[in-house]
């Protein structure tokens, strides 16, 4: 792909057809686009008239069974994002469409109240923004995440928030209130401390130093914060494990975890194209190492393998991460409380007794 095909300020360098499309096209450099400037695309917002807001899962690979995602698509533009292939369900490209065509759920707060008030609902920690970042740029204008968080705090429901954005600091009043009742945990995702790599790989996220500041501010306010190194990309950022854990621990992180790079569906093509543009000298080495982790393939979706990989290199990463955590003495997490939950009144009616 010619460099003239780059999108200014975006993560994906091209927009492949989704896997359900009747037509599959390929980019070919025919020499006619030499010297053209990068294309600048505006973000478009669309309404998603959702019927439910709480999504349940039974995966043994994740530490939660329910989540809330106010947005589909993510303007942060992380080139490796495992959620990119979900845009194929909207007949859009997991490439540039995923980060420029953002769907929001204006009825999310209303649906959340309705589902929490159901007579059979049993509380357990809800992960907020687990598929796409709940604090992406659209949240500044729409405020859906804050509205959902207000409801969870009002009704004393436990919640875990995962984000790469410093915008979470806006809601520190709610975070502190929830933390004081042992109802909240914040997880800040930090992929690299290299500002240049961050700019190319996660173009619209908070810079690495800014994420460290966010960890510090929340921790100083009494909000329990974890760090998630997601993803670890062999050859590209695995060398940063020890330093990244050291700096996030200094900033106030209480615990740490990681996820190995996942390349489901169209993400395989998107990531390899990105490597050809930004890391051409390392591209083959990176992909070979990824195949070592995935039994010779670029991805294995099997439970127990998809988050960590397998083989000698996966075992080495796990040992390094464990030893670094032990050396840095992360204090760990307290279990979130579910016994304080008070459901919203059903159908807007208060109970007589």
pLDDT value, residue 20 = 61
Digit-coded pLDDT (tens) for 306-343: 889 999 999 999 999 999 999 999 999 999 999 999 99
Say whether pLDDT at 348 is over 70: no
User: Angle between the 208-220 and 241-251 helix axes, to the nearest 10 degrees?
Assistant: 40
Q: CA–CA separation, 24 vs 35, rounded Å? A: 27
Mean pLDDT (whole number) for 79-106: 94
Q: How confident is the model at residue 21 (pLDDT cuts 50, 70, 90)?
A: low
Q: Closest Cα partner for 125 from 296, 280, 338?
A: 338
pLDDT value, residue 63 = 85
CB 73 within 8 A of CB 98: yes
CB 158 within 8 A of CB 123: yes
Hey, what are 326's tokens?
A: 């032990």
pLDDT value, residue 251 = 98
The enclosing H or E element of 273 equals helix 267-278
The ranges assigned to domains in the chain are 3-18+38-331
Q: How confident is the model at residue 2 (pLDDT cuts 50, 70, 90)?
A: very low
Mean pLDDT (whole number) for 38-59: 90
pLDDT value, residue 4 = 37
CB 253 within 8 A of CB 225: yes
User: CB-based burial of residue 265 (10 Å sphere; 0-12 exposed, 13-18 middle, 19+ buried)?
Assistant: middle
Mean pLDDT (whole number) for 257-266: 94
Say whether pLDDT at 3 is over 60: no
Give, in order, the Cα–Cα distances in Å from 314 to each of 4, 235, 308, 322: 36, 13, 7, 12
Say whether pLDDT at 353 is over 50: no
| β pairing state of 54-56 and 66-68 | antiparallel
pLDDT-above-90 percentage for the chain: 80
Mean pLDDT (whole number) for 236-264: 97
Which residues neighbour 11 within 8 Å (Cβ) at sequence distance 6 or greater? 76, 77, 78, 79, 81, 99, 201, 202, 203, 204, 274
pTM of the model: 0.90
Digit-coded pLDDT (tens) for 137-170: 999 999 999 999 999 999 999 999 999 999 999 9
Which residues neighbour 226 within 8 Å (Cβ) at sequence distance 6 or greater? 185, 186, 187, 188, 253, 254, 255, 256, 257, 333
Q: What is the DSSP letter of 16?
A: P
pLDDT value, residue 281 = 96
Average pLDDT, the chain: 91
Say whether pLDDT at 269 is over 50: yes
The enclosing H or E element of 159 equals strand 159-163
Say whether pLDDT at 280 is over 80: yes
Say whether pLDDT at 118 is over 50: yes
Q: How confident is the model at residue 303 (pLDDT cuts 50, 70, 90)?
A: confident
Say whether pLDDT at 246 is over 70: yes
Say whether pLDDT at 38 is over 80: no
Say whether pLDDT at 349 is over 80: no
Q: How confident is the model at residue 26 (pLDDT cuts 50, 70, 90)?
A: low
Mean pLDDT (whole number) for 75-96: 94
Mean pLDDT (whole number) for 190-208: 97
User: CATH number of the domain at 3-18+38-331, out of 3.90.420.10, 2.130.10.10, 3.20.20.70, 3.40.50.970?
Assistant: 3.20.20.70
Q: How confident is the model at residue 182 (pLDDT cuts 50, 70, 90)?
A: very high
Say whether pLDDT at 33 is over 80: no
Mean pLDDT (whole number) for 111-138: 96
Say whether pLDDT at 37 is over 60: no
Mean pLDDT (whole number) for 7-24: 74
Q: Which residue has the higher pLDDT, 34 or 87?
A: 87
Say whether pLDDT at 228 is over 70: yes
Say whether pLDDT at 109 is over 90: yes
């Amino acid at each position: 792909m010619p460099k003239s095909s780059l999108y200014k300020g975006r993560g994906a360098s091209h927009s492949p057809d989704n896997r359900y499309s009747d037509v599959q096209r390929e980019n070919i450099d025919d020499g006619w686009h030499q010297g053209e400037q990068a294309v600048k695309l505006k973000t478009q917002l669309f309404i998603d008239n959702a019927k439910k807001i709480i999504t349940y899962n039974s995966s043994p690979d994740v530490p939660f069974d329910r989540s809330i995602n106010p947005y589909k698509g993510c303007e942060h533009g992380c080139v490796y994002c495992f959620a990119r292939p979900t845009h194929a369900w909207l007949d859009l490209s997991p490439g540039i469409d995923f980060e420029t065509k953002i769907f929001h759920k204006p009825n999310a707060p209303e649906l959340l109240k309705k589902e929490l008030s159901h007579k059979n609902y049993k509380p357990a920690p809800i992960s907020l923004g687990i598929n796409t970042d709940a604090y992406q740029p659209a949240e500044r204008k729409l405020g859906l995440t804050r509205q959902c968080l207000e409801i969870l705090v009002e009704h004393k429901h436990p919640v875990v928030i995962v984000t790469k954005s410093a915008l979470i600091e806006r809601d520190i009043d709610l975070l502190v209130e929830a933390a004081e009742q042992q109802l909240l945990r914040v997880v800040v995702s930090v992929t690299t401390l290299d500002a240049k790599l961050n700019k190319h790989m996660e173009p619209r996220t908070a810079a690495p130093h800014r994420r460290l500041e966010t960890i510090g501010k929340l921790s100083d306010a009494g909000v329990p914060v974890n760090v998630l190194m997601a993803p670890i990309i062999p050859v590209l950022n695995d060398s940063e494990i020890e330093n990244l854990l050291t700096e996030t621990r200094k900033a106030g992180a209480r615990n740490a975890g990681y996820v190995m790079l996942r390349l489901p569906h169209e993400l395989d093509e998107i990531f390899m194209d990105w490597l050809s543009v930004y890391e051409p000298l390392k591209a083959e080495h990176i992909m070979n190492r990824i195949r070592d982790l995935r039994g010779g393939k670029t991805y294995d979706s099997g439970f127990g393998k998809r988050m960590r990989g397998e083989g000698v290199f996966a075992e080495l990463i796990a040992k390094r991460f464990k030893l670094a955590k032990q050396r840095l003495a992360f204090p760990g997490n307290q279990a979130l409380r579910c016994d304080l939950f008070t459901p919203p009144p059903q159908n807007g009616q208060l109970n007589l007794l």
